[in-house]
Chains A and B, each alone.
Chain A
Amino acid sequence: MEKRVTFRGWLLPLALIAPQVVISAVFFFYPAAQAVWQSLFIPDPFGLSSKFVGLGNFEFLLSDKFYRASFVTTAVFSTLVTLCSMIPALFLAVIADRLIKGSGAYRTLLIWPYAVAPAVAGVLWLFMFNTRVGVVSWYLGQLGYDWNHVLNGTEAMGLVVVASAWGRISYNFLFFFAALQSVPRSVIEAAAIDGARFWRRFFTIVLPLLSPTAFFLLVVNVVYAFFETFGVIHTITGGGPQQATTILVYKVFSDGFVGQDLGSSSAQSVILLIVVGLLTVIQFKYVEKRVHY
C-alpha cells in the first residue's frame, strides 16, 4: 500500500504551491526568459532602439579568444576555491569535534569570517597584500620575494582564490561540524576497540558517513565560486592583470554595466546558465552515485 496524502479537488493543492511558483516565476523564470530574449538583440544603452541579430551575440562571444580563455580561468578559479574552502573546513571541523573543552569558543571564532561580506573581505586581503603598504607583501619582501599581484597573473589568481575561500571555510565548517556530530559514537567506539587509530577511523568510517554533506557542499560551493565571488574580484583585481582573473560572471558585469553592451551581457548570462545547469546535472548524475545516504 502506497502511503500518500490526497487532496480532494485542485484548489487547495494549487493554493499551497502557489507562493513557491509565483516566487520562482517572478525572480527566476521571468528574468531568465528576458535574458534569453535580449540575447538575440543588440540594443542601445538607453533602450531607444534595438536590432535583432539572431545568434549574432553568441557568435561574437565564441569567436573571441579572450572569452574562451575566460572559461578556463573560471574552471581553475572555481576548482581552487572549492578545494581551498572545503578541505581546511573539514580539517578544522574534525579538530574542533575532538576537543572536549572550549569547542564552543573555537566554533564561534571559526564561524565569524562568514559574517564578512565578500567585498569587505576583498578589501581586507587587498590591504594585506598591497604591493606598497601591505603587511604580508612587506614580510615577503623581507624574505626576498617580490610580491606583485598587479602584474603577476598567478599571484593575482592566488590572492582572489584565498580571499574568496576564506569566508567560505566558515560556512563549510558549520556543515561539516554538524555532520560530524551526527556520526554515531557507537560505530566509532567499536572501531576503536578493534584497534583502528584516529585517522584510519576517520577515512574508513567518518568520511563515508559525511559524504552526503560533502556532496551538498560541493554543489553549493561551485555555485558560490561561479556567482558570488564577484565582489572579491571587483575589489581586488577588477579582472586583471590582463584577464588573469576575469571569470565568466565578472565579464557579464563589466560588459553589461561598464560597457553598456546589454546584448552581449545577456548572451553571456544565457551561456552561464547553461554551463551551471550542465555542471549540476553532471554532479547529480555521476558524483551522487558515490554518495551513501
Chain B
Amino acid sequence: MKKNLLGALAVTTALSPLAAMAQTEVQFWHAFTGRLGELVKAQVEEFNASQDEFVVVESHKGNYSETLNAGIAAFRAGEQPHILMVFEVGTATMMSAKGAIKPVYEVMAESGASFDPDAYIGAVKGYYTTTDGDMLSLPFNSSTPVLWVNRDAMQAAGVDPDTDLSTWEKVGDVLEQLKAGGEDCPLVTAWQSWIHLENLSAYHNVPFASQDNGFAGLDTELMLNGPVQVAHLSAMGDWAKDGKFIYTGRRNEGGANFRAGECALFTESSAGYAGIKAEAEFDFDVRPLPYWEAVTSEPQNTIIGGASLWVMEGHDPEEYKGVGEFLSFLSSSDVQAAWHQNTGYLPITAEAGEATRAAGFYDENPGTDIAVIQMTAKEPTANSKGLRLGSFDQIRGIIDEELEAIWSGEKSAQEAMDSAKERGDALLRRFESANQ
C-alpha cells in the first residue's frame, strides 16, 4: 500500500513538470465582477483558445483596493501573480516598488511579442509612462468624465434639451432654469475629486501638483488650492447651497439617482454608459465635460481613470514570454474595439478607435465618441498627462472630506483646499521618505 502511494507520488511529480512544459501558466488577478468580469473572462478564453503554448488563469480578487492589497500581500509571501490589475490611483505605489514590478516595456522587449508604443493613445498611455517615454504598465480599462443629460427631465422643467452645455457658465444658467422649473435634482456627480479637481485642473491646463503632477519626482506638493480650482468649487458650493447641486456620496452613488431619472445633469465617467443604457427609461445624451469660459476658450484634454496591468517580478523568462503574448493580444485592434464598444471604456490604441468608427458604432450610438475626442483633441501637456502621487488613495479621502465641508457650507472653497493641501502634503512627505 505504502509502496503504491510512493509510486503514485513519484509518477505525479514526474508528470507535473511535463504538463507545465506543455502549457505555461500565467496568473492574472483583476478587480472586475458582473458584466465586466464576464468580458474579461471572455478575453482570456479567446486568448487561451488562440494558441496552445500558454494558459492564462484569471481570478477576481475584490474591488480595486482589495486587489492591490492582495497583490502586495502575495508579493510579501512570495506568491505574486504574473499580472496584477492596479487602479490609476495606485500607480505611484507600484512605480516606486522597484524590485517588485517588471516594467511592461522590458517584458515586451524580452518576450519578443509585437509591441509598438506609438500605437497607444497618448493621453491614455501617458498616465503609465515614464517621462522618458517608457511604458511601465499596460493601460487596460480607461475612462474619462463626461456630462450626461436626462433630456426628459430638461423638457419637464421647461428647458430645451438641446441647450448648449459646453461651459460651466452656461450650465449655471441652465441649473437656475431647472430649479425654477421645479427640478429637485438639477446636478449630481460621481467621483467628485477625480472629476471636479483632478480633471478640472488638467482640462484648464493648470497644475494639480508640482513637479509635473508628480511625474518628475517624489518631492511634489499639491497645488489644488489655485484660483481656477477654488473658483470652480465656490460655484459648486453655491449651487449646493441653492439645492442645484445635490451631493450623494464620495463614490458613484449619484449614478443610482440619475439612472432612476431623478436628476437632470450628471457628471460621471464615460464608462457609466453600459449602466445608463441598460437602466435609463428616459431619453439621454452625452456631452463633453463643461469648462470655464472665463479661464480658457479652448480646453485641454481630460485625464483618465481606471486601471492598468502591472507585471510582477520574480517569475521565469518562459512565463514572461506568455505575459508578453497576452498583453500583445489585449492591445490588438479587434479586442480593443470590442472592449470599447461593450463597456464605454476608451480604446487604448488609435487603431481600435478608427475600427470602431469604420464599423459605424458611433453613428448608431451617438455620443459614445465624445470621450475619445475629449481625450485626444489636444496633445497632453505636463498638467494634463495624468497624476502620479504617492498615498493618493488617502489623499483622495482627504479631498473628499474637505469637499464635504464646502458642500455643507462649513468652509469656504479656499479654506477647504488650503487645508487639503496642508494635509495631503504631509502624506506626500511621508511617502517620499518611505521611498527614497
Contact = CB atoms under 8 A, between A and B. Distances in A.
Tell whether A pairs with B: yes
Best-buried of A50, A243, A260 by chain B (most CB within 10 Å): A260
Given A60-B430, A261-B430, A45 B72 contact: yes
B69 A257 contact: yes
B155 interface: no
Interface in B399-436: 400-402, 404-405, 407-408, 410, 423, 426-427, 430, 433-436
Contacts of B249: 150
Contacts of B430: 42, 60, 261, 264
A50 B436 CA distance: 10
Contacts of A60: 426, 430
Given A46-B72, A150-B249, A254-B394, A51 B434 contact: yes
Contacts of A64: 426
Contacts, number: 87
A184 interface: no
Nearest to B251: A238
A257 B430 CA distance: 16
B393 A258 contact: yes
A132 B248 contact: yes
B250 A259 contact: no
A258 B404 contact: no
Given A66-B423, A241-B404, A260 B250 contact: no
B250 A240 contact: yes
A151 interface: yes
B248 A150 contact: yes
Interface residues of B, number: 39
Given A150-B249, A260-B93, A42 B434 contact: yes
B426 to A, nearest CB: 7
Interface in A17-59: 42-48, 50-51, 53
A45 B404 CA distance: 29
B99 A48 contact: yes
Contact of A42 (B248, B394, B423, B433): B433
B423 A44 contact: no
Best-buried of B72, B253, B393 by chain A (most CB within 10 Å): B72
B422 to A, nearest CB: 10
Contacts of B402: 242
Interface in B380-401: 391, 393-394, 397, 400-401
B96 interface: yes
Contact of B257 (A132, A241, A258): A132
A96 B423 CA distance: 52
A131 interface: yes
A175 B63 CA distance: 39
Interface range for A? 20 to 34
A152 interface: yes
A46 B100 contact: yes
A118 interface: no
B434 A263 contact: yes
A178 to B, nearest CB: 40
A151 B394 contact: no
Best-buried of A43, A51, A133, A151 by chain B (most CB within 10 Å): A151
A45 B250 contact: no
B97 interface: yes
Contact of B393 (A46, A50, A243, A259): A259
Per DSSP, are chain A's interface residues mostly helix, strand or loop, or mixed?
loop
A138 B413 CA distance: 31
B262 interface: yes
A44 to B, nearest CB: 5
B72 A132 contact: no
A255 interface: yes
B273 interface: no
B434 A242 contact: no
Nearest to B393: A258
Interface in A68-84: none
B397 A258 contact: yes
Nearest to B96: A44
A44 B393 contact: no
A260 B72 contact: yes
B400 A240 contact: yes
A30 B371 CA distance: 52
Contact of B391 (A152, A240, A261): A261
A60 B253 CA distance: 34
Contact of B100 (A48, A53, A152): A48
A243 B394 CA distance: 13
B362 interface: no
A254 B434 contact: no
A230 B248 CA distance: 22
Given A45-B97, A240-B250, 13 more contacts: A43-B434, A44-B434, A46-B100, A150-B253, A241-B408, A242-B402, A257-B65, A257-B69, A258-B394, A259-B394, A259-B427, A260-B69, A261-B430
Please provide the 10 A-B residue pairs with the shortest distance between their CB atoms, ordered closest to farther. Answer: A259-B394, A46-B100, A42-B434, A242-B401, A241-B404, A151-B408, A46-B97, A47-B76, A48-B99, A45-B72
Interface of A: 42-48, 50-51, 53, 60, 64, 66, 131-133, 150-152, 238-243, 254-255, 257-261, 263-264
Interface of B: 65, 69, 72, 75-76, 93, 96-100, 247-250, 253, 256-257, 262, 391, 393-394, 397, 400-402, 404-405, 407-408, 410, 423, 426-427, 430, 433-436
25 contacts: A42-B430, A44-B97, A44-B435, A46-B75, A46-B76, A46-B97, A46-B100, A47-B75, A48-B97, A48-B99, A50-B434, A60-B426, A150-B247, A150-B249, A150-B253, A238-B250, A240-B250, A242-B401, A242-B410, A258-B397, A259-B393, A259-B427, A261-B427, A261-B434, A264-B430
